[in-house]
Amino acid sequence: MNKIKNKKGAIGIIIFFFILIAVLVLGFIATLSWSIIDIVSDEITPIMTDLGVVGSSNVSEYAEYGFGVANTFVQSVPWLIIIGYVLALIFTLVFVFVVGYSPHPAFIGFYISLMVLLVFGCVIMSNMYQDIYNGNDEISSRLQEQSTMSYLILYSPFIMSIIAIIGGVLMFAMKNTDVGYGGGV
Answer yes or no: is 102 within a domain.
yes
* pLDDT at residue number 185: 39
Answer yes or no: is 6 within a domain.
no
| Tens-place pLDDT, residues 97-153 | 787 777 878 888 999 999 999 999 999 999 999 999 998 999 999 899 889 999 999
Answer yes or no: is 5 within a domain.
no
Q: Mean per-residue pLDDT for 159-180? A: 79
Answer yes or no: is 53 within a domain.
no
Lowest pLDDT segment from 64-68, 82-86, 135-139, 162-166: 64-68
Answer yes or no: is 104 within a domain.
yes
Which structural domain range is residue 109 located in? 15-42+78-173
DSSP codes of every residue in 71-114? HHHHHHHHHHHHHHHHHHHHHHHHHHHHHT----GGGHHHHHHH
The number of folded domains in the chain is: 1
Answer yes or no: is 27 within a domain.
yes
Answer yes or no: is 60 within a domain.
no
Contacts of 10 (CB under 8 A, 6+ apart): 103, 107, 110, 111
